[in-house]
Structure 1
Amino acid sequence: MNIAEEIERINRQITSKGYKLTRQREITLTVLLENEKEHLSAEEVFMRVKEKFPHIGLATVYRSLELLVQLRIVEKMNFGDGLARYDLRHEDHEHMHHHLICTSCGALEEIQDDWLSELEDRLKKEYGFQVTDHRLDFMGSFKACSTDNCKKQKTAVS
């Protein structure tokens, strides 16, 4: 799906919940879509939004991000570096994807497969607990970090 189609899909989500896709929110979403693999912080989102919409303020970007989190369009995450980072949710995945986070270099790798569905089924069966969402982050080191081929060169978290 291209960015325009994603924006339209998200616009339907936003309007179905009684909100409008303002120009500021649209630009914020565009920046998130254009930089999806980077897991940008609010400040990084702001700097990139400001390039496209110079008159926008930091508070407006924060409010846009928080509304998108509240509407479950964006997930607010912390990878242990002291920054809140933002990750788009996708309708083709029932749950958020998972992350491998390298504590040596800060590199981040995403796992799209949901390996927890059997556990969710067991929780429902044994405890009567219906899981509606989950997130799993694995902290550790990539093998390449002990060599000169550190993954940070490929997918580093800013």
Structure 2
Amino acid sequence: MNPMDTITQQFTAHNYKLTSQREAIVKVLLDNEKDHLSVEEVYMLVKGSYPQLGLATVYRTLELLCELHLVEKMNFGDGVSRYDLRSEDHDHMHHHLICDSCGKVAEIKDDWLAELEEKLEKEYGFSVTDHRLDFKGTYRICTGSGCKRPKEGQAIS
């Protein structure tokens, strides 16, 4: 099932309408999935198609998407909330590499914490339902104005 169908089903299941404005917001998130957009960035991208759209509508829609567990609200330590679509192909959220020099964010989709989760369940009786792990640092190849970071799974030379 494609992501838009999943989102439409969630809206319907919770008796919400997927208005054309909400759909445009979701499409911006889908089209910019790797960018971890802020409310303002989503607003600017949607405003071209819907000039009458208000920032408050974007904010409310993103909060609703969070409430429906379709989007994860995150902060990378710079005081800006960003929004990231949840993916059906992963049990947990992915992890991030955050460059201190230029602010670039790279995703790591591998779940390196599965063994730790099993240990928490076994030793503490604690069942992990989700987790997020962010690594902060600097790429060797960062120029300060932008990283020429590797693609997912590619080593840095």
Q: So what's the TM-score if we normalise by structure 2?
A: 0.88
1:2-60 Cα distance to aligned partner (Å, 9 max, x none):
xxx32112111222223221222111100001111111110010011111111111111
Equivalent residue runs for 1:54-93 within 5 Å: 54-93=51-90
Structure with more helix by fraction: 1
Unaligned runs of 5+ in 1: none
Q: Could you say if the C-alpha distance between residues 122 and 54 of structure 1 is closer, same or farther in structure 2, counting changes exceeding 3 Å?
A: same
Equivalent residue runs for 1:75-114 within 5 Å: 75-114=72-111
**1:10 counterpart (7, 10, 19):** 7
Secondary structure (helix, strand or coil) at the match of 1:144 reads: coil
1:33 maps to: 30
Residue pair 2:74, 2:83 contacting (<8 A) in 1 also: yes
Residue pair 1:105, 1:152 contacting (<8 A) in 2 also: no
Alignment partner of 1:43 is 2:40 = yes
CA distance in 1, matches of 2:146, 2:56: 36
Q: Could you say if the C-alpha distance between residues 143 and 119 of structure 1 is closer, same or farther in structure 2, counting changes exceeding 3 Å?
A: same
Task: Give percent identity, aligned residues only.
Answer: 62
1:151 maps to: 147
Residue pair 1:106, 1:152 contacting (<8 A) in 2 also: no
Amino acid at match of 1:52: S
CA distance in 1, matches of 2:51, 2:150: 30
Q: RMSD of aligned C-alpha atoms? A: 2.1
Q: So what's the TM-score if we normalise by structure 1?
A: 0.88
Q: Could you say if the C-alpha distance between residues 61 and 152 of structure 1 is closer, same or farther in structure 2, counting changes exceeding 3 Å?
A: farther
